[in-house]
Amino acid sequence: MESSHVSALQMKHAGIERRIAEEMSRPLPDQTTIQALKKRKLRIKEEIAHI
């Protein structure tokens, strides 16, 4: 059970990382969006660390 939950969180983390990279590659990246995505990524990372 735990490993599948960790895998799901890692996939979410990777997806958010991709979205941040996409946003930053735009000519005018939206800093608000990037900050929100980074916060979500950090929360997921913390949740993975607690498991």
Q: Is the pLDDT of residue 43 over 90?
A: yes
Q: How far apart are CA 31 and CA 15, in angstroms?
A: 18
Q: What is the 3-state secondary structure (H, E, C) of 7-49?
A: HHHHHHHHHHHHHHHHHHHCCCCCHHHHHHHHHHHHHHHHHHH
Q: Is the pLDDT of residue 5 over 60?
A: yes
Q: Is the pLDDT of residue 8 over 80?
A: yes
Q: What pLDDT, in 10s, does the model give residues 10-37?
A: 999 999 999 999 999 999 999 999 999 9
**Torsion angle, CA of 15/16/20/22, rounded to 10 degrees?**
30
Q: What is the pLDDT of residue 48?
A: 93
Q: What is the pLDDT of residue 24?
A: 97
Task: Name the nearest CA neighbour of 13 among 47, 25, 2.
Answer: 47
Per the document, the length of the chain is 51
